[in-house]
Amino acid sequence: MNKESVSVLGCGRWGSFHAWHADRIGCNVLLWGRPDSKRLARLASERKNEYLTLPESVRLSDSLTEALGHAETVIISVGAQGFRALCKNIAALSPSLWRKKTFVLCMKGLEQESGKRLSRVFREELGADPAAAVWVGPGHVEDFVAGIPNCMLLASEDETLPPRLAQLLESPLIRFYYGSDLLGVEIGAAAKNVVGLAAGMLDGLGLPSLKGALMARGAAELSRLVAAMGGDSMTVYGLSHLGDYEATLFSLHSNNRRFGENLIRGLPSEKLAEGVYTADALALLGQKHNVELPITDAVRSVIRDGADPKQVLLHLFLREQKSE
């Protein structure tokens, strides 16, 4: 058994899963949530949420100082739009608590207002010293807890870091692959949520057969953006983007797909899906790098401008002939 200490920052669906998984492979785990977190309060009183039951061996804390002092490896799983604020809170603590740690960013998103990748946000707030990697790829908490395995992806600017993290975190449930193009991995992982919104809209309109065209167009569209930004255009055809389509465009567990479908059907969604913020960020990147993003534009026109979804999506796929 492992016995290495791991801290997880964020106690939502994925944060609680990472704590559950790290404990399952034998790590000494502390799960952190904000002092006013209702999710942390429920875990403290019931040891469970709607996804899983946490074993008693997982410690809970609302002290960021305690969480950072607990372990050398820190997994972060919070909402992408709150990530910079968390980084600022970490940076305000004694550097001895965080400067030599290894951080694993388990989020799929971009900063809405700037379009920046989360690894860049991390560096801007915490500097070059802490080691950092991103952990993305297909999978749902519900499936993992049920014992259904999947493949996921680790990527870092430091090519030696993903193999070290895989040795610590791999299990029969998760097989890791390594990504060498951090830019492409982060853009692809975030953008698949926007494609997921479009897929849900197609479901809501009774047009699921168009998901094939959506998948082909989505990957091609994002490959051009990644290349224009200086990444490898082929990265989006791996686990971070195309490899995550099944879990995002088809699964009943997909928040983004469900949000898009609910929007069309006039049903409420419990919270705003991450893809809504990402669509705004991608639009900024498309303008900056002079890359057309028709799927992103279509999703934003429906969500932000109230455009007729059937007209917008049929025009997207059935407009005048053109090459892929």
Q: Which residue has the tokens 């469970």?
A: 48
Reported in sequence order, the residue ranges of the chain that DSSP labels E, i.e. its strands, are 5-9, 28-32, 59-61, 73-76, 102-105, 131-136, 150-155, 174-179
Q: Is 66 in contact with 6 (CB distance < 8 Å)?
A: no
Of the candidates 101, 108, 116, 192, the residue annotated as catalytic is: 192
d(CA 267, CA 56): 38
- Contacts (Cβ under 8 Å, ≥6 apart) of 145: 17, 20, 51, 52
Query: Is 192 an active-site residue?
Result: yes
Angle at 161 between CA 278 and CA 129, to 5 degrees: 80
Quick check: helix, strand or coil at residue 116? coil
Measured distance CA(286)–CA(290) in Å, rounded:
6
Q: For residues 291-318, b (16+ Cβ closer than 10 Å) or e, as one string?
A: bebebbbbbbbbbeeeeebbebbeebbe
Retrieve residue 267's tokens: 């049903």
Catalytic residues, by residue number, are 192
